[in-house]
Structure formats: C-alpha cells, structure tokens
C-alpha cells in the first residue's frame, strides 16, 4: 500500500509538504552560492572604494594652562570641520579620524603630546596656540614624519629662519599684522605710546614690531613692559602705564588679557586711556569682561562679517548647530582644517610630506575667499582686518571696521630656506 501511494505521488506530481520543503531548501542554497560568488567578484571594486587610508589628524591644543579658554575654541572649530567633512562622505573618499592631546599651554608638553600623536599615526598636526609650542613642534616634523597646519600662532620665526616645508600657516603672521597696523596707525591720534606685551616669543616680536612702526612715523614709545606667562596681578604694570601718561597703549598679551582688562578697568586705566589690541579683540576676552572692552579697536583674525561665500556658508552651518555665531578662534581653526583637507585632496594622499608639498604654491578655498599658499615660505596670503568691539547681532563682539587687501602682505623672509 505504501509503495502504491508513493507511485501515485510521483505519477501525479502531488508531493507532500516534506518533499516541497526539501526542494525549496536546495533552491535557496543555490541562490546563496550564486549571490556569494557575485559578492566575491565585486570585492575588489568595494575594496577600491572603501580601502583608502583615513585622514588621521592629531589635534594638539591647550586643554589646561593659561590658554585653555582659547584651546576649547580651537578644538570646537576643528571638530566642527571634521564632523562636517565626514557627513559629506569624508575627504577625497577618506574618513577623517581625530585624536586629541593636551599641550598644557607649555612647549615641553606640546612637544611630548605631538610626538605621541604623530608616532601613533595621527601625523597631520593642527591646533597649537602659542608660537613657542608651534616652534618646537615645527622643528621635529621630519623626525616624526609629520606635517603641521598652523592656525593661530603668529611669530615670524615660523616662516623665516626656522621655516619648514612640512609647516603651512593659514593665519596672519606678526609681519602681516604689523604691515596693516602700520597703515592703520597713520590715522590714530597721539604721539606717545605704551606697550604691555607677554614675555615670550610672540609678545616680544609684537612689541618690537609695534615700536618700529611707531618710530618710523616720528612717534615714540614712552614705556615698554613685559609680563611673564601666567601673570595674575597686573597692578604694578598698570601703575607704570598710568604714570607714563601716554596717548594709547599697545597690548599684546593673550594669556593674561582677561585679568589685565578687568584690573585696568578697576584702576581706571580703561577706558580713560585708549587701548590698541594685538590679538586682544577676541571673543573669549570680550565674553569674560562684561562691557569693559566696548569700543576697543584692534586686529582680528576672523569675524562673521567677512564677506565671502565660504564664510557665509560656515557661519550659517555653525549657527544651525550651535544657535550662535562662531568665535574668531573657532573660525581660524576651522579655516586651517579646510586647507588641510584640500591638501589631502590635491595630494591624493595622507602622507604628511605629500600633503604640504601639494599645498605649497597652491590656490585654495578659505574663509577669506580663494587665496594662495605662498611657495617661498608656506604662508597663506590673506586679507587683514581691524575691528572694534561693539554690539552686533544682539551680542558684544568684534565688528570689522576696516579691511586691508592681501597685497599689503610683506614679502617672504630671505631667511626662509625651504
């Protein structure tokens, strides 16, 4: 009987569910084998698209120490640029990977953390604030097989006698600032000036350059004072500045700016005596000192007022994320990351030497428009600005008062041998 039923099923094609499941299983396995073969065939193509080395950035900035407030803004600007790039699919088809280190606002810590990041593979370095930290990092780039994009440090030494083909500066140098300020000072009233500067390489360079600009116009510097890094009590300096009875005071002390402004207001040095700021007219100082900085003029590296499509796009995207305007430091840090990403794209490589070589002499997009990285010293040549602290967009901030074209940038130093 069982054999008869089996014969009937074969004859009629009416199989029980058991046999149908076996057949479906065989067909599914066949489909899987075919799909697997097709996937294997496509793997070389997928590897080509997905296998590019990532852009490994080493963010070296001040999370602690005298420059920690600025350091937070630097980190925020870089992270915004990295997140934006990855959201767009990366840079040249590569994911951007960021690793961070604290330079503690000192050259020794800066060198140590930069070396660790570079030797761990994050050898596209960005973020140091002080020129003293940038100088010690720049001197070691070849040894670490690293490249360095400078976004804040201004010392002329970085692009003169200690220039390095692996270092590209995307912000204004002291020489660029002073060329502009030399023009600007022609309209400043007064003949006698005081100087208060930070007692390290950038402050010393700034004071020297300002004094040269003033004396070239037949004016004089009546008092010149230097405050050590980490100074908290500015009363002795303020008393000397008041006693000198100068027409205006040149202040170049980013790390002590907040303490100085607060104490100068308490001692009635401000607003009685006009202050001219070198890297003083900065959002972090303004935000921390109430209304004390109102009407103070000075140079500024970036503000949302810069009238370029690149700045407008950055400001709109930043406001959409944070519901506020970017600070001057955030803007300069973001701008440096923009240039770094273009270096990777131009080089079609993440090899540090190749990236900076591709940028040398290149025209790049920046927050200042289409600009050139000067081949002689890897200095990006950009317009410069004088701003005044006033209310705008509902906040007290630097507002551009005068713009100066990139053409006033001094020639590259003959001391730079690339």
Query: 273-302 pLDDT, tens per residue?
Result: 999 988 899 999 999 999 999 999 999 999
In this structure, are residues 62 and 68 in contact, taking their beta carbons and an 8 Å threshold?
yes
How confident is residue 50, by pLDDT bands cut at 50, 70 and 90? low
- Give mean pLDDT, residues 27-46: 45
Cα 418 from Cα 404, distance rounded (Å): 28
Q: What is the pLDDT of residues 177-212, one digit of tens each?
A: 989 988 888 878 889 999 999 998 889 988 998 898
- Give mean pLDDT, residues 229-258: 95
Pick the more confident residue, 400 or 15.
400
pTM for the predicted model, two decimal places: 0.85
Cα 211 from Cα 247, distance rounded (Å): 14
- Any idea what DSSP says for residue 249? E
Q: How far apart are the first and last CA of the chain?
A: 98
Cα 313 from Cα 336, distance rounded (Å): 16
In this structure, are residues 228 and 253 in contact, taking their beta carbons and an 8 Å threshold?
no
Cα 198 from Cα 194, distance rounded (Å): 14
Cα 240 from Cα 204, distance rounded (Å): 19
With 0-12 CB in 10 A as exposed, 13-18 as middle and 19+ as buried, what is 388?
A: middle
Residue 231's contacts (CB-CB under 8 Å, 6 or more residues apart) are 256, 259
Residue 176: count other Cβ atoms within 10 Å of its Cβ: 26
Q: Which two tokens stand for residue 85?
A: 């790039």
């Amino acid at each position: 009987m069982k054999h008869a039923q089996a014969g009937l099923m074969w004859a009629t094609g009416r199989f029980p569910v058991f046999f149908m499941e076996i057949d479906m299983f065989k067909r599914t396995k066949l489909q899987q084998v075919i799909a697997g073969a097709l996937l294997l065939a496509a793997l070389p193509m997928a590897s080509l698209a997905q296998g590019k080395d990532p852009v490994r950035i080493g963010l070296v900035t001040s999370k602690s120490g005298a420059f920690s407030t600025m350091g937070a803004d630097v980190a925020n600007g870089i992270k915004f640029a990295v997140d934006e790039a990855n959201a767009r699919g990366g840079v040249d088809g590569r994911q951007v990977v960021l690793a961070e280190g604290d330079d503690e606002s000192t050259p020794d810590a800066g060198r140590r953390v930069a070396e660790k990041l570079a030797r761990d593979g994050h050898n596209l370095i960005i973020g140091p604030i002080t020129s003293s930290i940038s100088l010690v990092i720049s001197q070691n780039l070849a040894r670490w097989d690293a490249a360095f994009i400078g976004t804040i440090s201004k010392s002329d030494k970085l692009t003169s006698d200690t220039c390095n083909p692996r270092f590209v500066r995307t912000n204004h140098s002291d020489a660029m600032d002073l060329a502009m300020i030399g023009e600007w000072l022609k309209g400043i009233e007064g003949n006698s000036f005081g100087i208060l500067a930070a007692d390290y390489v950038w402050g010393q360079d700034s004071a020297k350059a300002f004094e040269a600009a003033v004396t070239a116009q037949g004016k004089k510097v009546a008092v010149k004072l230097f405050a050590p890094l980490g100074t908290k009590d500015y009363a002795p300096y303020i008393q000397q500045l008041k006693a000198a009875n100068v027409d205006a005071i040149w202040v170049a002390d980013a790390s002590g700016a907040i303490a100085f402004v607060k104490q100068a207001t308490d001692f009635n040095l401000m607003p009685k005596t006009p202050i001219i700021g070198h890297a003083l007219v900065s959002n972090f100082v303004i935000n921390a000192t109430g209304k004390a900085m109102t009407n103070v003029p000075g140079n500024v590296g970036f503000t949302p007022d810069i009238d370029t499509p690149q700045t407008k796009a950055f400001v709109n995207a930043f406001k959409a994320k944070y519901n506020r305007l970017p600070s001057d430091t955030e803007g300069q840090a973001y701008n440096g990351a923009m240039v770094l990403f273009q270096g990777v794209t131009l080089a079609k490589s993440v090899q540090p030497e190749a990236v900076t070589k591709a940028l040398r002499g290149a025209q790049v997009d920046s927050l200042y428009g289409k600009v050139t990285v000067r081949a002689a010293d890897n200095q990006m040549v950009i317009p410069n600005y004088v701003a005044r602290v006033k209310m705008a967009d509902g906040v007290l901030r630097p507002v551009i008062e005068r713009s100066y074209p990139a053409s006033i940038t001094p020639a590259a130093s003959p001391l730079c041998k690339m």
